[in-house]
Amino acid sequence: MGKKKLKIIFPVIAVVVIAALAVLYLSSKAKTIPPQEAQGLLPELSPIAQNFFDGLTSRDYEKASRNFNGIMREKMPPQQLKTLYEQINEKIGDLVNLGSPKISKQRENITLEYQAEFEKEKNVTVRIVFNKEKDGYKISGLWFDSPKLRQ
């Protein structure tokens, strides 16, 4: 009973664990927000995102980070945001155009994703992640991605 049952049970347990992890992974993927919900969120989130981009382009990093949540402000204070944007600017130049955002949701996180145009590269993906806090939505994550930025 001992060794034969273990040899059979172990692969079954492994398959169940892998299936459970796959379900967990797939359920954690960002989901598109229905248009009505997006219409309700964009008027609240767009000004926060615009303030961030206005601060970056005017090199006012205090303004750009004004709506960061506590963790984001701790991990990326204005001086570090300045360093990041200088590195981005060196590779792809200044922001030229944002385009319209796509909005998605993953658990409590709302993401605005832009296909932005910079001076030296088009189709730069910029993602701003928001979390709702007591006093409204705050920026809790930020990503810039493009082939030139990955070099």
Provide the residue-wise pLDDT of the chain in tens; the chain has 151 residues: 555 544 444 333 433 334 333 333 434 456 777 777 878 899 999 999 999 999 999 999 999 999 999 999 999 999 999 999 999 999 999 999 998 999 999 888 999 999 999 999 999 999 999 999 999 999 999 999 999 999 9
Q: What angle do CA 147, 149, 150 make, to 5 degrees?
A: 65
CATH fold for the domain made of 32-150 = Nuclear Transport Factor 2; Chain: A, (3.10.450)
Report CA torsion sign: 81, 73, 140, 65.
negative
Q: CA separation (Å) from 145 to 13, 50, 56, 92, 150?
A: 39, 19, 16, 11, 7
Going from N- to C-terminal start, the domains of the chain cover 32-150
pTM above 0.85, yes or no: no
Distance CA 151, CA 148 (A): 5
Secondary structure tally for the chain: helices H, strands E: 6, 6
